[in-house]
Structure formats: C-alpha cells, structure tokens
Amino acid sequence: MPQKEPIEKDYYLPILNSLKSYGGSATLDEIRASVRPMLRASDSYLNADAGKDTGESHFEKDLNWAGKRLGDAGLIQKARTHWKLTEEGCFNYFTSKTLALLCELAGTRRKKTRRKSKR
C-alpha cells in the first residue's frame, strides 16, 4: 500500500509529543529528527524540494507551518531554532482532530485581528 503524503494537521500531535519527549523544549533539528519517523511518509516526500528559493524540503516547510499554527493556538513558543511548550501545551490531552480544530480556529482568529488592525 502506498504511503500518503502528510498534510499540515498530521504534524501537530507529533510535534507536541516530540517536545514532551525532550522535556518540553528542543531545538528545531531535534524536533525534525523526532517527528520525521512519526509521520511514516515516503522518502520522496520527505526529501522533495519545496521550492528553489527556500532550499527547504516539503517536510521542513510543512513542519514550520504546523509549528506556526501551534504557536498561534498558544501551545508552543517558537523561536527560529528553538521551540518550547507553553503551560497549555504541557498539559494537553488532545487528539489529532481536536488539535486540527484548535489550530484552525486560532489561525482564523489571527487573520480577523490582522484585518481589523489594518483599518
């Protein structure tokens, strides 16, 4: 059976689990190494270039976007090369579905806030 390519929401739970396994804080390289096998994605997806300008793979690009969404939802604090669970992220008992909904709502809320501030 062919492996399906993961989408952004498939990253949420592995990222939180990865951070928990590192004691709540990890470098981006540690997170990449930990999340990669959790996705069970094909090597062609994991290594495919996302674009010639960025030099990122699809995996790295999707991981960064998922991290941004988790940050918008208040579950992680994300610096360029270091991510950390927030208090809310430490005490999560989320399923992948509830995380997807939470991150979607946080992204929608953030877009509305930006639109209001531009007026």
Question: Tokens 């639109």 sit at which residue?
Answer: 115
Query: Does residue 98 or residue 21 have the better pLDDT?
Result: 21
Q: Where in the chain are the domains?
A: 9-118
Band (pLDDT 50/70/90 cuts) for residue 111 is low
pTM score, whole prediction: 0.80
> Which architecture does CATH list for 9-118?
Orthogonal Bundle (1.10)
E strands, 10-87, are: 25-27, 76-78, 82-85
